[in-house]
């Protein structure tokens, strides 16, 4: 989806496409355009969402649901490309994101944004469930997808890497004051026994462990 430079390290940013029975869902929308600070500090290298969707024979208009795992700038930057989509975000995350210096507010809080705030876990379409997973941010959420071969979990940034997830977490990745919650969240996500787990900044998938 995109990559950014952070402290001279290149960080990949992934979004995930879910084609459900009645909806096409996109989990996160990457880094937006037009913010001078982001361009100067992070120098993002983007892979256009429309091009990525086209690989699956889809248009941006085919996406009916957008799930923002959280509202940091690299996860909600292209929400406006999907004006017809319902956008799901945790209420605690929306509240945090509207405070100064949290994110690029106009990338998610714009005229016409179809924001649907959720408090906790919720099935949003058949076989797709939002899981509240705070820790990295106050209102982070993950997505559990039921498939014929078992559950798939898009943990997003509930953990930074597959390796970190497997060993139970690293509190340096937690939002200030949420260190214990960060570790609890990873333990709770593991209880879903998903056979594959995917992350926002690591292309390596984890597998189910206890």
Sequence-ordered list of residues with C-beta below 8 angstroms from that of 157, at least 6 positions apart, any chain: 69, 70, 72, 75, 136, 137, 140, 173, 199, 200, 201
What DSSP assignment string belongs to 3-26?
EEEETTEEEEE--EEEE-SS-EEE
Sequence-ordered list of residues with C-beta below 8 angstroms from that of 181, at least 6 positions apart, any chain: 134, 135, 174
CB contact at 8 A, 68 and 97: no
Structure confidence at residue 188 (pLDDT): 97
Distance CA 98, CA 80 (A): 17
Give the model's confidence band at 207: pLDDT under 50 very low, under 70 low, under 90 confident, else very high.
confident
Q: Would you say residue 36 has pLDDT above 80?
A: yes
Question: What tens digit of pLDDT does each residue of 79-97 get?
Answer: 999 999 999 999 999 999 9
Q: Would you say residue 104 has pLDDT above 60?
A: yes
**CATH topology assigned to domain 2-199:** Metallo-beta-lactamase; Chain A (3.60.15)
Question: What tens digit of pLDDT does each residue of 161-170 get?
Answer: 999 999 999 9
Q: What is the pTM of this model?
A: 0.95
For the record, the structure tokens of 156 come out as: 């997003």
């Amino acid at each position: 989806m995109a990559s950014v430079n952070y402290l001279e390290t290149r960080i990949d940013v992934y979004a995930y496409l879910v084609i459900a029975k009645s909806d096409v869902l996109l989990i996160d929308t990457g880094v937006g355009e037009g913010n001078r600070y982001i361009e100067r500090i992070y120098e993002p290298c983007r892979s256009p969402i429309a091009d990525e969707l086209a690989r699956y024979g889809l248009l941006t208009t085919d996406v009916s649901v957008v799930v923002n795992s959280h509202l940091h700038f690299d996860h909600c930057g292209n929400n406006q490309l999907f004006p017809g989509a319902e956008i799901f975000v945790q209420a605690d995350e929306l509240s945090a994101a509207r405070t100064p210096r949290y994110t690029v507010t106009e990338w998610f809080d714009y005229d016409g944004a179809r924001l649907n705030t959720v408090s906790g876990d919720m099935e949003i379409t058949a076989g797709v469930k939002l899981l509240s997973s705070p820790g990295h941010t106050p209102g982070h959420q993950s997505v559990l997808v039921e498939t014929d071969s078992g559950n798939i979990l898009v943990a997003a940034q509930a953990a930074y890497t597959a390796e970190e997830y497997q060993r139970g977490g690293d509190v340096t990745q937690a939002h200030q004051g949420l260190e214990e919650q960060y570790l609890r969240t990873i333990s709770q996500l593991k209880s879903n026994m998903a056979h594959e787990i995917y992350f926002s900044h690591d292309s390596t998938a984890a597998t189910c462990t206890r």
